Structure formats: structure tokens, C-alpha cells
Structure 1
Amino acid sequence: MADTTSDVDSGDGEEWVILPPKGAIQVPEGRQFTGPSRSTYVKFQLQFSFRAASCRAHLKKKKADIEETKLDQSINPQNQSLLFLLPTELRLNIYEHLLSIPTSRGAVKIAPRPSHGKDPVTLAILLTCRRALAEAEEIFYSVNRFSIDPPTSFLDTLGARRLSAITKLELVVGQPSSMLIGLKQLHCLPNLGSLHVRRTVGLRYQNVSAWAVMAPQLIAEIWKMESLSDIRFGSPGTNSLEESDSAHMKRLSEIDQKLCSVAPKRS
């Protein structure tokens, strides 16, 4: 995240907002989560300066790293603030409470700002001063599960420190090729421990053969993610299953279990 106070490149960049999605997924321990139901959109604004061209991704990351360094070098202790007179542990608990975004599904949608022009709610604590930003932003990235649709330029806008803070993520995919693209983009997250994969296509319309063919490539990408220890899959619910759907569902479930078993077996 670039300096959240301003610095939005209006010529080449885009303004991003965080949109907790409409779906609702409950995830009992050890079980798959299920598909979407309605909920209210809550909007949080983050502003990022980035260029969309993938060939310039390394320049984006370099710029983000430089901005992080500049932030550390110019922090005012803010001794006049009552907040910073509190013990560090209490202050961190306050940040976590403020920056944990409640969503019915537990994943916060990252998307380019919608064109309808409604003003999003700002992450106010990060805009108060540089010290608050330095202390709180990593908490924001670590306590929330971000939901992205691959391919995405969102990760290219973050410096190394912010990328290291991300520990859980949701990939929204339609086909196995989308998941493969997404997994390749996640290698920049050294501390990613939990990954939810949410399919947008219902069970009846899933190309199970394509998932079976691409499973070895998906496993290879998952294996490269050393900190990953939990993977779960979810699909839109189906009201009524026909007899022919049972075999379809069983085969897809077997593929999912195979993919999910890669990370725990390595640890």
C-alpha cells in the first residue's frame, strides 16, 4: 500500500477499494466451505499508485519498497498523543480491533473502484500520522483475509514488508487455469499460511476433466509455497442434485482432497 494519505497516480494508476463480497461462507473446521448468500457491501478505501503493465511489476515493487523506507525514516514520535502513551500491547490490540473488517464470508474483496461514484469509507487510523501507519498497517494485512480474482495487479502495489504481513487469502476462480495463474502470483507472499479457493461456477457446470488434467501443475505450484499449511475449496451451492451429478461431485471432491493434502503433508 502506497502512502494512504494521497499520491494517487491519476494518469496511469487506478484507485482501489476493499469490497467485502456479497457471498457468505461458513467454514467448520476440517470441512469445505459452501457457496454464496447475500450480505451487505461494506467499502473500505485504499489508494494505490501502480501501473497495470505486467512488464513493469518489478518497478512497482521497487517503488513500494522505497516508500516503506522513506516512511520509517521520517516518523514523528507524536508524544502529545494519548494513544501513543498507552502500552504497546494495548495499542496493538486497539489497531487489531479497528482494522479487522467483519464480513459474513470472512474474506475482504479487493477490486478496482466501481464506477458508480459512491464514496468509500476510509481506513481512518492509517491516515492520522506516519507513526500510526507504521505501527498499524502490517496488522491490517495480517488479520484480514483478502479476496482477489486472478490475474491481479494488487500484489504488485505492495512492498516486501506488506507482502510479508499477508497470512491468509482467497482466490476467486472460474476454471483451473485461473487458479494456476493465481498460484503463480502468490509466490511473493512468504508467510501465506491459509488459502481458500472459491469457485464461481456451480458443480453441475464444472469441467472436472480440466481440473484433473491441471492437477499436477497446481500441485507443483502449491508445493513451492513453503509456509502454506491450509487449503480449502468452495463452490456455489446446488439446490437439487441429479443422479448423474453424484459421480461428477465425487470426482471433483477427490481432486480437491488431493490438492488440499499437499501442504499439510509437507509440514
Structure 2
Amino acid sequence: MPENLAQTQAPQQPVSPPPLLALPPELRTRIWEYVFSSVADEHGSVCLTRTIQPQDEDEDEDAPWPSVLVLLETCRQIRDEAEGLFYHLNRLQLDFEDQYGSGRSSLASPVYFLDTVSARRGGATRRLTCFVADVETIGLVLKRCRRRLPRLVDVRIQFLPTVRAYYFSAAGVGAFEREWFFWRRDLRGLKSRIRDFRLAAPCPGGAAMRPTVERWEARMRAELGLVALG
């Protein structure tokens, strides 16, 4: 065995930058725009739902399809150039924890995302869809949108099918009134930015809740200075 193992090791070769970075900046931007504008689903949204997989679950059984977002992991320069465009171009859909009954814990629930999003990503986000399971979460979302997403122009909040029917009963409708004080303050803070706002009943199964939701949607749109929906 050699006394000095370091002398027997081949010198490390310098890492060459990806050939993509040799292209002109304008062309690279066009490439990022093309790649990231193709990731939306049939509703025009990109679902940000990372999951923690249970240890007893087969690793590859439900493995997601490869995502174009792996491009952001290529190198720091590509990430710095491209990730802002991803957040700028797409409507981000934030799903509530365990929305589909999968038994997995979502790391992209609205409050979690808005609490942890970086300044670069938050500053590039323009369109957002949030799924919520209760009335109280709406206020948490609005507050964080006002503070963390300075270029936000379009917000959609939709109740999940798991929302308690109590909120939409005669006894529970006061929950909306109790939250209105907080909503109103944050809606006023968003007024100069927001161009469209929607509040939606659960789908499917939200027919009985829709009248209440539509009344509050109209009230919130009015606070934002938006015209009522027909």
C-alpha cells in the first residue's frame, strides 16, 4: 500500500458549465419560458404538492413522472436564471394536507408554502390557487399573500370537499362574520394589486354551500374594488 494515498489519486478535472449556458441570454430565456409554460395541468395550474412517503410504501409504486423542474437542479446559474420564470409564468396550486386521502402529508399546503417561500420565488408569483378546509385558513392565506407576494394579481380560494357543512348552516354562518374583520384588513392591503379574486365552493358536492360562498365572494371582491361576477 502506498504511504501517501493522495499521490496515487488522479487530479480532479474542473467541472465544465452546461453547454446550455453558452447560448446567448435571450435565447436561454426563450428556452426557460417554453419549458416552464408546458407544465400546467388541464386547468392551467401547476400543483405544488411535495409528499412524505410512508416507510412501508413501495418506493416506486406511485413515483411521480419526471418533472421539467429537475432543470432547476442542474446548476446554480440555471436555477438563478430560470426559477423566477417558473413562478412568474404559472398559476401555482397549493393543496391542503392529504387532500386526496392518500395518507401522505403535504409540504405544499397554502400556509406552509406562504410561510417558507423565498423572497425570489414569492416576488415572482403572480397567480395562486389555494385549497382550504375551513373558514379560518382564508384569513391566514390573505395575510401571507399581502406580506409575502408583492406581485400577486390573481387569487383563487376553493373549499375542499372535506370542509364542515357547519360553516354553511344558519348556526355556523357567524364564522364568516367573525373572520371578516381580519379579511377586510388584508383585502384592503391587497386592493392595489389584485386584478381578479375568486372564492369557490367544494367541487363536487358543494351545491348547498354555493349561495353562501357566492355572497362572501361578492363581498370580498367589492372590498378589493372588483366588479361583481354575473
TM category, shorter: 0.5 to 0.7
In the alignment, which residue of structure 2 is the partner of 1:3?
none
Amino acid at match of 1:103: D
Amino acid at match of 1:93: R
Amino acid at match of 1:233: L
Match of 1:207, SS?
helix
Q: What TM-score, normalized by structure 2, do the two folds share?
A: 0.66
Q: Deviations along 1:96-123, whole A, 9 cap, x unmatched?
A: 2212322122333333424143444242
Pairing partner for 1:191 from 151, 161, 167: 151
* Residues 218, 201 of structure 1: alpha-carbon distance in 2 compared, 3 angstrom cutoff: farther
Q: What TM-score, normalized by structure 1, do the two folds share?
A: 0.58
Could you tell me the percent identity over the aligned residues? 24
Amino acid at match of 1:89: E
Give unmatched runs, 5+ long, in structure 1.
1-75
Matches within 5 A, 1:56-135: 78=17, 81=19, 84-86=22-24, 88-100=25-37, 101-115=39-53, 116=57, 117-118=59-60, 119-120=63-64, 121-122=66-67, 123-135=69-81
In structure 2, what is the Cα distance between the partners aligned to 1:107 and 1:185? Answer: 20
Match of 2:211, SS?
helix
* Residues 216, 157 of structure 1: alpha-carbon distance in 2 compared, 3 angstrom cutoff: closer
Matches within 5 A, 1:92-241: 92-100=29-37, 101-115=39-53, 116=57, 117-118=59-60, 119-120=63-64, 121-122=66-67, 123-148=69-94, 149=96, 152-186=111-145, 187-201=147-161, 205=165, 207-208=167-168, 209=173, 210-225=175-190, 226-237=192-203
Verify the 8 A CA contact 2:200 2:213 in the aligned structure 1: no
Q: Deviations along 1:36-79, whole A, 9 cap, x unmatched?
A: xxxxxxxxxxxxxxxxxxxxxxxxxxxxxxxxxxxxxxxx995x
* Residues 77, 211 of structure 1: alpha-carbon distance in 2 compared, 3 angstrom cutoff: farther
In the alignment, which residue of structure 2 is the partner of 1:67?
none
Verify the 8 A CA contact 1:230 1:264 in the aligned structure 2: no
* Residues 151, 144 of structure 1: alpha-carbon distance in 2 compared, 3 angstrom cutoff: closer
Verify the 8 A CA contact 1:212 1:255 in the aligned structure 2: no
Verify the 8 A CA contact 1:193 1:229 in the aligned structure 2: yes
Match of 1:147, SS?
strand
Matches within 5 A, 1:3-18: none
Q: Deviations along 1:143-177, whole A, 9 cap, x unmatched?
A: 12222235633334433222101111111112210
Aligned-pair Cα RMSD in Å: 3.2
Aligned positions, number: 184
Q: Deviations along 1:178-231, whole A, 9 cap, x unmatched?
A: 111222222211111110101114899362312244233212212112422211
Give unmatched runs, 5+ long, in structure 2.
1-14, 97-108
In structure 2, what is the Cα distance between the partners aligned to 1:110 and 1:250? Answer: 29
Q: Cα distance, 1:259 vs. partner? A: 0.7
In the alignment, which residue of structure 1 is the partner of 2:9?
none
In structure 2, what is the Cα distance between the partners aligned to 1:240 and 1:251? Answer: 10
Structure 1 or 2, whichever has the larger Rg, is 2
Q: Deviations along 1:8-54, whole A, 9 cap, x unmatched?
A: xxxxxxxxxxxxxxxxxxxxxxxxxxxxxxxxxxxxxxxxxxxxxxx
